[in-house]
Amino acid sequence: MTVIDRLRAALPSAEEPAHTSPWGPGWRRAALIGALTALVSAALVVVPVVLAWDAAPLDGTERADAVRLGAALWLLLGGAHVSAGPATITLTPLLGTAVLVVLARYGAREAMVRVRTDGGYWAGTLPRDLAGAVGAWWAGYALGTGAVWAVAHSGALVPRPWTVLVPAFLVPVAGLWLALAPVARDDPDVLGPRLVPVLPDVVRRGLGPGLAGVALLVVLGTLVIGVAVLLAWPQVAAVQDGLTADRTDVLVLALAQVAALPNLALWVVSLMGGPGFTVVGGAVVSWDGVESGLLPLVPVLGALPQPGPYPVPAALGGLAVLVGAGVWVGRRAVATVARLSRLRTKLAVATCACATTSLAVGALDLLGGGSAGQFRLAAVGAPAGRLALSVFLALLVGAVGYVLRDAWRLRR
């Protein structure tokens, strides 16, 4: 045997691939990353809860109880419902949910690294190797979610078993979608025919501007909250001073308010559109007026309007903000079609964009609203159906106005 023959025998050939580690790119590695993604994500909630307990332990509780509480809170952030005795909590802090989705996105992207994308599609969805890695990652994430539920189910907050499917399904699917989106943009052939939705052209063009409109409304609602807190700072500070809590409890309460900021922003958007929102039973803020009640000791609630008739200038100003947002959405929608397209086409795309925004806002309110306890806390937040309808009508007025003005400018 010559030296060349020995080298050929030692080096891998195309017919005899080199031995690879079982934990290399593939379904095993993806499943491990999926489980670790869920567990690391849960640890980001459990660890602060345990640290808060260490700083101020409650009588009659142990550190294991804090771990169970943190596990239940992680499931709540993912959309699960939890029970505390006879009370059920379904209020999901949307910013916390968004953080979990971002973490899932990074985990899914890592699971797809160096996975082959050639070959045939599996069931018309993804290339077989990629589909195997994605499915294994999802299974690993679901297994990690099940482990977190096993820890939490014997704690003070008991997750409802059937609702655990939401963090096991919704969060990883959203993360996978965010991870696959840039891959599909670079190589559209990665997505099989069953993953490419067949939508009318006007609907497809309106999706992007509509989703951008959701982000705009959340930002506008957040800005209104910031202004309201500044204007009512003495009341907010008085609520904060009235809390007999140490620094750890104050920090936990502050983080909870930040995590629920998008929820509060949707309440503000609902107030702009007219339906308003319910803080607790008997305490409603809408165009019909402001009804007060015994409120929870949450500092941001000190910025609520004073009881009495709702000011007409404030109602008109809020409605004008929504109409202005509709102008912005309509402008982005019109930019997706040719400049000399027919007026009917532009109106259809703008209408689809407004419908996308309103439906997404309603879906977010359904996910983030609900019950924060029992009795007077059994129903809080904005009415999702009326919120979506009012947002759609206000946005449509602004979007149609922009489209008509654009058509008039073209004819000059």
pLDDT tens for each residue of 193-233: 887 777 888 898 999 999 999 999 999 999 999 999 999 88
Judge if 103 and 224 occupy the same domain. Answer: no
Structure tokens at 199: 């939508």
Residue 161 CA to residue 349 CA, distance in Å, equals 41
Reduced DSSP (H G I as helix, E B as strand, rest coil) percent helix, strand, coil of the chain, to 5: 65, 5, 25
Judge if 135 and 53 occupy the same domain. Answer: yes
Other Cβ atoms closer than 10 A to 181? 11
Q: Which residue segment(s) compose the domain that 289 sits in?
A: 201-411
Last residue of a domain, one of 133, 165, 195: 195
Considering the domain boundaries, does residue 71 fall inside one? yes
Other Cβ atoms closer than 10 A to 118? 9
Judge if 190 and 303 occupy the same domain. Answer: no
Q: How many domains does the chain have?
A: 2
Average pLDDT over residues 383-397: 93
Judge if 241 and 178 occupy the same domain. Answer: no
Considering the domain boundaries, does residue 7 fall inside one? no
pLDDT at 14: 38
Residue 87 CA to residue 82 CA, distance in Å, equals 9
Considering the domain boundaries, does residue 405 fall inside one? yes
Judge if 137 and 172 occupy the same domain. Answer: yes
pLDDT tens for each residue of 11-60: 333 343 444 555 556 678 899 999 999 999 999 999 988 888 887 777 77
Last residue of a domain, one of 150, 166, 195: 195
Nearest to 30 by CA among 150, 165, 99, 129: 129
Q: Is the pLDDT of residue 259 over 80?
A: yes
Judge if 168 and 296 occupy the same domain. Answer: no
pLDDT at 361: 95
192: Cβ–Cβ under 8 A, 6 or more apart, which residues?
121, 122, 123, 124, 125, 126
Judge if 209 and 176 occupy the same domain. Answer: no
pLDDT tens for each residue of 343-361: 899 999 999 999 999 999 9
Last residue of a domain, one of 157, 179, 195: 195
Q: Is the pLDDT of residue 140 over 90?
A: yes
pLDDT at 376: 63
DSSP string, 157-184: SEEPGGGGHHHHHHHHHHHHHHHHHHHH
Residue entry with tokens 């999702």: 384
Considering the domain boundaries, does residue 131 fall inside one? yes
Judge if 286 and 227 occupy the same domain. Answer: yes
Helix (H) or strand (E) holding 68: helix 63-77
Three-state secondary structure call for residue 399 = helix
Considering the domain boundaries, does residue 3 fall inside one? no
Judge if 232 and 313 occupy the same domain. Answer: yes
Nearest to 99 by CA among 118, 78, 124: 78
**Cβ–Cβ under 8 Å, residues 268 and 325:** no
Average pLDDT of the chain to the nearest whole number: 84
Considering the domain boundaries, does residue 17 fall inside one? no
Judge if 132 and 258 occupy the same domain. Answer: no
pLDDT at 378: 61
pLDDT more than 70, % of the chain: 89
Judge if 187 and 228 occupy the same domain. Answer: no
Residue 6 CA to residue 273 CA, distance in Å, equals 79
Considering the domain boundaries, does residue 178 fall inside one? yes
pLDDT tens for each residue of 302-339: 888 888 888 899 999 999 999 999 999 999 999 998 88
pLDDT at 4: 33
